[in-house]
Amino acid sequence: MFNLRFNFLKNIKNFIFPFYRDKDLKYIFKILQDGIPENKIAARFVGGCVRKHLLNEKIDDIDIATILTTDQIKEKFKDTNFKLINTGIKHGTITIVSENHKVELTTLRKDIKTDGRHAEIEYTDDWIQDSERRDFTINAIYLDINGKLFDPQMGTIDLKNRNIKFIGDPQKRIEEDYLRIIRFIRFKIMYDTAIESTTSKAIKQNLDGIKKISKERILIELLKILDLKNFLTINSSDNLKEIFSMIFPEFLYLNRLERLKKVYQHSEANIDILLAVMLIDEKDNHEYFIHKYNVSNKIKDNLEKINKNLIRLKNDKEFFEKDLIKNIYLNGKNHLIALNLIHFSKYSKVKLNDFSKTLNKILKIKIPVFPIDGKFLKQKGMQEGLSLGNVLKTLEKEWINNNFKISSERVEEIIRQNSY
């Protein structure tokens, strides 16, 4: 009942106060239109912000297409309070920053030559030509500042039907930029729809083209896919699962997601959990993934930490028993919750009841607070520096190993031993 009421109120709000009525955005459009004949539209919203507006979803990024070049945009905004960033001048993109918004403006363009990675472009003032070079019909819906739609590729119909369709010939669109295969997968999972046979055939015929794409661009798209609310439904479509596995063969354990679904709420979503479930085995498969995609240190460290503790968990039947408080203190509750999820997903012998009991134990535990700090040691006569830090580490280690207890006498003794 709450969700129905919340969605109703959200729809009313979006209807009465649509995003395009924002004061800053209206002013940006006013500046862009200034000096342009009234019968010629200087700018329209396009892409994700229009799509999400039509679906009553939260709008994160705002993109504007315009007939103006970056030089013309700079000239129009030079005496305003807006900040301009040269985001991608080569491709006709400039970012305008206001107090409340960060807006990307891109000049209308058409592709002259493509090689599967990059495109040689030519600027145009033809909105239909601009729409024809975009990837999917749902991303070629334009909206003016008054809320009027311009939909030359009939994207609104496909959006209503949750149909992800390439503009024109799928084969040609894919050959222009092979990353569109992965973007297509992302939108398919997002809207949970089947893949048409013609599109599926074109994708499978062009999978080798993905090798031309930089690993950095592929990783960015992959992380967006893993962040989708309904990523766990990927196994529900054999065709989608097959294509995803062909693109990312290192994900050997997609079937584990079925067990994860039983216990996994996306409010606890963590990309590291999904990566660990699909990657980690006894053969260091995750190391191959880390090396192949040159992932961030954060992802690398988290995967290695999860793998290390899964090995401990496998070899120590009481990992979640005798040393639970210690493990929570050293690793954090979220890490232990993640380990419990991954352990359940990885091993079919782990019962749902055992998973639930462990989770409840983790959630109920109050994390101990180390009672000694640098200020205390200074009051005892220690000087700031390396020695003080080492004493703190020694005291904390002994406190942890003694079941989070340490006597004042022992504290004094350790301080004396390290004072010189």
Which residue ranges make up each domain of the chain? 1-161, 168-249, 265-367, 374-417
Main-chain dihedrals φ then ψ at residue 181, nearest 5 degrees: -60, -45
pTM above 0.75, yes or no: yes
Residues with Cβ within 8 Å of residue 134, at least 6 apart in sequence:
140, 153, 167
pLDDT tens, residue order, the chain (420 aa) = 434 443 444 555 565 689 999 999 999 999 999 999 988 999 999 999 999 999 999 998 999 999 999 999 999 999 999 999 998 888 899 999 988 889 999 999 988 877 777 778 899 999 999 999 999 999 999 999 999 999 999 999 999 999 999 999 999 999 999 999 999 999 999 987 788 889 999 999 999 999 999 999 999 999 999 999 889 989 988 999 999 999 999 999 999 999 998 887 644 558 999 999 999 998 889 999 999 999 999 999 999 999 999 998 888 888 888 889 999 999 999 999 999 999 999 988 999 999 999 999 999 999 999 999 989 988 888 888 878 889 999 999 999 999 999 999 999 998 888 775
Strands in 102-107's sheet, in edge-to-edge order, are: 83-88, 93-97, 102-107, 62-66, 43-46, 142-143, 149-150
CATH class of this structure's domain 1-161: alpha beta
Checking 90-97 for CB contacts under 8 A at 24+ apart, the result is: 91/121, 92/121, 92/123, 94/70, 96/28
- Assigned CATH for 168-249: 1.10.110.30
